[in-house]
Homo-oligomer: A and B are copies of this chain.
Amino acid sequence: MTDVPGAAKGPIIVLVRPQLGQNIGKAARAMLNFGLTEMRLVAPRDGWPNPEAGPAASGADVVLERAQVFDTVQDAIADCATVFASTVRRRDLIMPVLGPEEMADSIGGSAARAAVLFGPERSGLETDEVALANAIVTVPINPEFASLNLAQAVILLAYEWSKRSALAQPPAKELEPPAPHGELQGLMDQLDQALESKGYFHPPSRTRATKNTIRTIFTKTSWSSREVKAVRGIIRALVLPPRKR
């Protein structure tokens, strides 16, 4: 898998009896967005390869090209140490029910292969298939409008996995650090002076309170040095007489 762009060791996505080629393609796209590259298909309804999968994958062809086809779920997960079944909670089975984050946590540190089973679009996984898994994984969803399609379920689980994996870089904070207080003080002095020259502080008995109010307003801005400079330039411009050009 070393030549797969963005590849990382993630769970295998197993689509059980998928119906539409389009949905297989969309699932591949969802996977690769978060660095998952291994797809397995169990008895796809319309055979494999399926010409409708490619266009729906929007470029995630590498996932489709390497997809492996199996006759049964058991064959598909034979080499996997941990298997999750993506489904709603089942009254007919007593097994652990995890959320996406818990699933990602439990895959996280393990070197053994993990797989996630997804059922057919319309009917979902059968009880016997769910029973093959170590745990159910279910996305906590609006109980009055639960309408996740296959690719959406795949993308949410892939996303949670990627957050745990090395692929996920913490978003770089490109924020400039806040300016030192001395610089903010310089800005305040300049503003006080400018306002003074315009007769803003009136009556004199209120001057101190007004200056404190202004200070709290500008102290909470978290402006960087560059931004403090820019604001100083703005104040300078505002107090000038209008320029003619």
- A residues near B, CB below 8 A? 5-6, 29-30, 32-35, 58-60, 89, 94-99, 101-102, 138-149, 151-152, 155-156, 159, 162-163, 166-176, 191, 194-195, 197-200, 202, 213-214, 217, 220-224, 226-227, 230-231, 234-235, 237-240, 242-245
The residue from B95, B101, B200, B230 contacting A217, defined by CB atoms under 8 A apart: B230
**Interface centre among A6, A141, A235, A245, by most B CB within 10 Å?**
A141
Q: Which residue of B lies closest to A172 (CB)?
A: B97
Contacts A32-B147, A147-B59, A156-B155 known; A234 to B200 CB distance under 8 Å?
A: yes
Given contacts A6-B144, A140-B170, A199-B242, 13 further A-B contacts (CB under 8 A): A5-B144, A5-B145, A6-B143, A32-B147, A33-B152, A60-B145, A94-B226, A97-B173, A138-B171, A195-B234, A197-B242, A200-B237, A217-B227
Contacts of A240 on B, CB cut-off 8 Å? 198
The residue from B147, B197, B202 contacting A29, defined by CB atoms under 8 A apart: B147
Instruction: Determine chain A's interface SS by DSSP, over half rule.
Output: loop
CA distance A199 to B220 in the complex (A): 29
CA distance A222 to B96 in the complex (A): 11
Contacts A142-B34, A159-B156 known; A147 to B238 CB distance under 8 Å?
A: no
CA distance A130 to B126 in the complex (A): 46
Contacts of A168 on B, CB cut-off 8 Å? 140
**B30 contacts A152, CB within 8 Å?**
yes
Q: Which residue of B lies closest to A138 (CB)?
A: B171
CA distance A239 to B93 in the complex (A): 27
The residue from B98, B200, B230, B239 contacting A213, defined by CB atoms under 8 A apart: B230
**B144 contacts A163, CB within 8 Å?**
no
Q: Which residue of B lies closest to A141 (CB)?
A: B33
17 CB < 8 A contacts A-B? A5-B145, A29-B147, A33-B146, A58-B149, A94-B175, A96-B175, A97-B175, A101-B163, A102-B171, A140-B162, A152-B155, A155-B156, A195-B238, A198-B237, A198-B240, A198-B242, A217-B227
